[in-house]
Every structure is written in structure tokens, then in C-alpha cells.
Amino acid sequence: MRLLNRSNSKTRLSNSTLLFIIAGIIFLVMYGIALISFPVSFRQFQTFFDFFNLNAALFIVTLGMCIVMIGGGIDISVGAVCGLVTMACAMLLQSGAGNIWAALFLALGIGLAFGLMHGFLIAYLEIQPFIITLAGMFLAQGLLTTIHKEPLNVTNPAFVALRRYTIEIPWLGTTNRLGVFIPCEIKPSVFIVVALVILYAVMMKWSRFGRNLYAVGGNRQSARMLGINVKKTIFLSYVLCGLTAGIAGFVFLMTTGAGNIGNGSLYEIKAIAANVMGGIMLSGGVGSLLGAPIGTLTLLTINELIRAAGVQSNLQAIVSGLLLYLFIVLQSIIMALRDRKGFKLTLPSWLRLQQLRDGKNADTLK
């Protein structure tokens, strides 16, 4: 144990840790700005919890995308799969044929089916992930519009009870103007988010699959040389991403309570943006899984901040784009500075030996 500590103190921060720390600092700064400029709303704990309550599905989608991105791939079908799952589950619950458990299994099944398809085609047939997941996105959107077009409200009593169910935190809350104490509320979907974050973080940090995935994302060729089953690792990453998108769809339905064509649209773009803010690089092999929720929080804080500032609605997109630009440039500058610091000219060993000998000779000559 002591040995481990010593080695930790000596080794430089890995890129993943550095980017994660930057992401954390950015989030704290953004939240600090929000606290200073809009103290009334942002000082309430409920505002913070509402990020999770209202966007639980986005958090979960981002986690799945993070795993794929660490493996050096991309999955742009997650939003569409999420939308398809909400509609399918809503139809199942509305038709009266199934209860909540059946809906949950349907959600997992759809997610798993898409994940298996993507994983097999990308890992074993070596097709470009962008194209396959684009096809998956088209497929999910097509199926979504085929099974049902109009918005569908779920009126299943058990599901409505689950949807309305909130957990109150009695010791945390605010008193309103009338002096009535309002406790903070947490939805059950928040627990799903937290559980998944912990599960995935542990998996990526300590399981064989997680470590293999980092190796594969960093350099596929050298991972193969190390004896890692590259294809299986990539396959599993896509299966996990699909499964996560399925869970996200169910959570989305738990949040909104209706199946709709527009559900989960643009989630893939939001998830990529959130992951980039969280310090996970699209090129793979770099990034901490905990960066995904941090990045999502940053994204949501920025959106909330812009909304609270009362910026004109069409300027909102521009402002969030500019902020994204700022973060990306900041990240890239920090990475470039770091590279320059550690820059060493690597020469072949025989050449280096020659140099050493020459140096020695020069010394002796002196």
C-alpha cells in the first residue's frame, strides 16, 4: 500500500485526471457566476436538484455516450433510441397489456437490441461507427413514427403513481414569502442516475473491461499487442451504450409521462457537448467517467443561466455555442501547454547510445 502511495505521488497527473479537474473547476466557476448573478433562484437547493429531476434521461444518455467515446467510437443513435423507447413503453402501458415491469423490460430489450446490432456491425464487421449509428438513428426514428404518431399520455394508474412519487428531504429546503417551509423534492429517477454513475465509474476504474476500454481507445494496435480482445471490448461498449439509452428512455417517460415524436431529439448532440465539457475526448482513451455528469451539469447550468438572464430566445443558442467554443479552446490550450512541457525528442536507441558516447568523448577530450 505504501508503495502504491509513493508511486502515486511521483507520477504526473494523467490526461484524464487533468481534464476532469478542469471540467470540475469550470462547473464550479459557472455555478459560482450563477450564484452571484441570480442568488435568489440558484441559492435554493431545489434548483440544483431540479437539474437532476428534469434531465435525468440526459444524464443517463451522456453516461452511455461517455463509455463509447472512451473506446474511441461514437453513437449518435442514443437520442432516437431514447425516443423510441418512450413511445413503445407508453403504448405498452396504454394498451393495458403490461405493467411497469413489462415496460421496463421492453425498454431494456429495445436498448439491448440496438446495442447488439451496433456492436456486432462495428466491432466484428469493422464498419465505421458514425455510419452504422446514423443508420440506427434513422431506424429508431422510422420505427417511432411507424408505431405511433400522435403524443400519447400514459394513464396507467401504477405508472402515474410512480411518476408522481417524490421523496422529500425534510431538513433541506426553503421558506417562501409566507413563511411556509417547502422541503426539497427528489424524484426516484435521480437515484437511478446516481446508481448508474457509481456502477459505471467503478466498472471503468476497476473492472477488466473498463481498463481494456481505455487501452483500446488510446491505441487499438498496441492494445491488440497486449493481448486484449479488441473486438469484444468494442462490442461490449456499444451494447452498454444501447442498454443505457434504453434505461434513459424509461427514465424520460418517468419524467414527462408521455410518448412523443420529439422525445430525446438532439440528445446525441447534447450528450457529445456535455462529454466534451466533461473532459472526455472524441479521439478516445482519455477522460474520466465522472466527467460525464459534471459536463452535463455544466451544460445545464449554462442553459439555466442564459434563460435566467432573459436573453432573447434565438440568442440563447449563439451564447451557448460561444461558451462551448471558450471551453474547447481552453481545453486545447491547456493540453497543448502540457504537451510542450513534456516534449522530448525521442531518438532510436542506437542513435542515443552514439550520442552518449560522443558526449563522453567530448568530456574526456576536455
Partner 1 sequence: MPKIKKHFDRFSQLVLPLSVLVLLLIINLFKGADYFKITMINGVLYGNIPNILFGASELVILSIGMTLVTAAARGQDISIGELGAISSAIFVQYVLNASEVTIWTILVGFLISCVAGIVLGAFNGILVSFFNVQPMVATLILFLGGRSIAFIIDGKVSPILANPISNQIGTVIPGIPIQTPIILTAVFIAIFAIILKTTNLRLYVEAVGINPNAARLNGINPKKVIFLTFLIMGVCSAVAGFIAVNKAGRHDSVNLLKFIMMDAILAVALGGNSLAGGKFSITGSIIGAYTIEVLNRTLLRLEVNPEAIKAFKAVFIIILMVIASPVVRAYAAKLLDKMKTISGSMRQTKGLNKAVVSMADSSVQKEE
Contact residues for partner 1 (CB under 8 A)?
Answer: 74, 117, 121, 124-128, 130-132, 134-139, 141-143, 145-146, 149, 269, 272-273, 276, 281-283, 314-322, 324-325, 328-329, 332-333, 335-336
Q: Which of 138, 206 has the CB closer to partner 1?
A: 138
Q: Which of 75, 190 has the CB closer to partner 1?
A: 75
Q: Which of 136, 291 has the CB closer to partner 1?
A: 136
Q: Which residues contact 128 (CB under 8 A, 6 or more apart)?
A: 122
Owner of C-alpha cell 451539469:
297
Owner of C-alpha cell 456535455:
274
What distance in Å separates the CA atoms of residue 256 and residue 252, rounded to the nearest whole number? 6
Query: Do residues 70 and 213 touch, judged by C-beta distance below 8 A?
Result: yes
Q: Which of 74, 154 has the CB closer to partner 1?
A: 74
Angle, nearest 10°, between helix axes 230-256 and 157-164? 90
Shortest CB 259 distance to partner 1, Å: 15
Shortest CB 182 distance to partner 1, Å: 35
Shortest CB 4 distance to partner 1, Å: 34
Shortest CB 360 distance to partner 1, Å: 30
Q: Is 58 exposed, middle or buried (0-12, 13-18, 19+ CB in 10 A)?
A: buried
CA of residue 79 relative to chain centroid, distance: 12
Shortest CB 124 distance to partner 1, Å: 7
- How many CA within 13 A on the CB side of residue 255? 29
User: Grid coordinates representing 80?
Assistant: 432516437
Shortest CB 348 distance to partner 1, Å: 15
Query: Do residues 301 and 27 touch, judged by C-beta distance below 8 A?
Result: yes
